[in-house]
Copies of this chain bind each other. A is one copy, B any other.
Amino acid sequence: MNRFKITELGKEVFWLRDSERDHLARVLRLKPGDLVVGFDNTGMEYTSVIRKIEDKSVTCQILSTDHPDVEAHTSVYIVAGLSKGEKMEWVIQKGTELGMEGLIPLRAKRSVMQLEGSKAQERVVRWQKIASEAAKQSHRVQEPKILEVSAWKDLAERLPENTQWLIPYEEEKTQRLVSVLDTLDPQRPIAILIGPEGGFDETEVSMAQEKLGAKSVSLGPRILRTETAALATLTMVLAHYGDLG
């Protein structure tokens, strides 16, 4: 069954408008009587039948309401140093499937692109769309949030105060990710700081350790590209707390 993000939720019906309406009516060419699933980012899921397709909206009648246990129980965020377009998009798409709670694009020292102003905003809109599509495809009921592009100094404010920060770092040779995960509290959010191509520089790692209390961790002896490191770390964190695999 096709999945749609609800624009407005009523008591026994919901409405789809704008791009969701167009996707249903024009792209998928669904008809009144067809079954669809709606979700509203609260964790609920509504199996419904299409009643009316109009120029500006689709009306769906709710048949049953569920609260599927599909979201990860530990909130894991990726903080990704800005890297080339395709890599960010992959991390957002796959990170969504795997179960991340959200992603913060970070202007890191070695980021080749330093998105500013309206360009940054446009890019975030595009990334949010990728996350929303991936959330549907993976049957999630909450879309991960792509936060605005941030500088190091704003990072702490972006996430809850009790967030636990991890920073995979090639020069960290002793502290392994898995042993640090044993010491974290899965009830509190976890943020994974991932460098851009070329990695974080030393001063960024020190800053993360001092200002955010970030723990540097080793991912093992093989060098991982930035996008591989992001997704592998997310996978291992979610798996460690039983949210994946």
Chain A interface (Cβ < 8 Å from any Cβ of B): 68-70, 90, 93-94, 97-99, 137-140, 176-178, 217-225, 227-228, 231-233, 235-236, 239, 242-245
Contacts and interface: CB of A to CB of B under 8 A. Distances in A.
A243 to B, nearest CB: 7
A168 to B, nearest CB: 9
A193 to B, nearest CB: 15
A227 B227 CA distance: 14
Contacts of A221: 68-70, 139
Contacts of A140: 222
A225 B94 contact: yes
A232 B219 contact: no
7 residue pairs, one from A and one from B, having the closest CB atoms: A177-B245, A70-B221, A235-B235, A138-B222, A236-B245, A138-B223, A232-B235
A82 to B, nearest CB: 20
Contacts of A219: 244-245
A10 B99 CA distance: 51
Most buried by B among A94, A177, A221: A221
A44 to B, nearest CB: 15
